[in-house]
Amino acid sequence: MAEIASFFEKFDVMKQGDIVVLSGSIPPSIGSDFYDQIIAKCEAMDVAFAIDTTGDSLLNTLRRGPFLIKPNHHELAELFGVTFSGIEDIIFYGKKCLELGAKHVIVSMAGDGALLFVEDKVYRSNTPIGAVNNSVGAGDSMIGGFIGTYTKNQDVLEAFKVAVATGSATAFSTDLATCEAIQKLIPEVEITEI
């Protein structure tokens, strides 16, 4: 396919320190190995990648060492074919994702905040107060907030805080969040180590 070849030609501008985000399900017309092709290109160029997908696509990617994955708690349970009875179960399987190769794991839990797994630590955030208008794009916004902040200062906790504010600001908006809405919520986000 000419479009795929053109897509991969654009990868030549990537450099070490960049992060490629893979998000969503793969259209059948592209082929089920498309993410694998992108990840192989990232590996060859020493470029990190984040992935936000579900099921086998996500599970098979963990061994490739993604910089970040961001399932919600329902997707995490589905990933391992289990049902969660409490936060302890979510923590167990979040740590499992690290063991399988992910560098950072954010598990969003809607009104119950989010969890960040990094190295041997687990952090929990609250959820800022606001009325949910539209949750479409909130997860993508979390990823953007995390990566955008992390690439500036390599502070994983600040990146997590901004991610939660960004995802919440999008959920509280009728469209994607504005910078003003995000900045307003950042002070409301509290991070605690579990």
Domain ranges in the chain?
Answer: 2-193
Phi then psi for residue 51, to 5 deg, are -135, 135
Q: Give residue 171's pLDDT.
A: 95
Chain CA centroid to CA 99, Å:
17
Q: Which amino acid is at 110?
A: A
Per-residue model confidence as pLDDT tens digits over 143-174: 999 999 999 999 999 999 999 999 999 999 99
Q: Which residues pair with 104 in a beta bridge?
A: 68, 118
Residue 56 binned pLDDT confidence (cut-offs 50, 70, 90): confident
Q: Which amino acid is at 5?
A: A
**pTM across the whole model:** 0.93
| DSSP assigned state of 173 | S
The answer to whether the CB of 114 falls within 8 A of the CB of 143 is: no
3-state secondary structure of 41: helix
The answer to whether the CB of 109 falls within 8 A of the CB of 135 is: no
Q: Which residues pair with 121 in a beta bridge?
A: 118
Considering the chain, what percentage of its residues have pLDDT values greater than 90?
76
Alpha-carbon span 59 to 33, nearest angstrom: 14
Per-residue model confidence as pLDDT tens digits over 2-45: 888 888 898 889 998 899 999 988 888 888 889 999 999 999 99
CATH topology of domain 2-193: UDP-N-acetylmuramoyl-L-alanine:D-glutamate ligase (3.40.1190)
Q: Give residue 121's pLDDT.
A: 98
Phi-psi region of 154 (alpha: psi -120 to 50; beta: other; left: phi over 0): left
Active site residues: 140
Alpha-carbon span 105 to 70, nearest angstrom: 6
The answer to whether the CB of 107 falls within 8 A of the CB of 114 is: yes
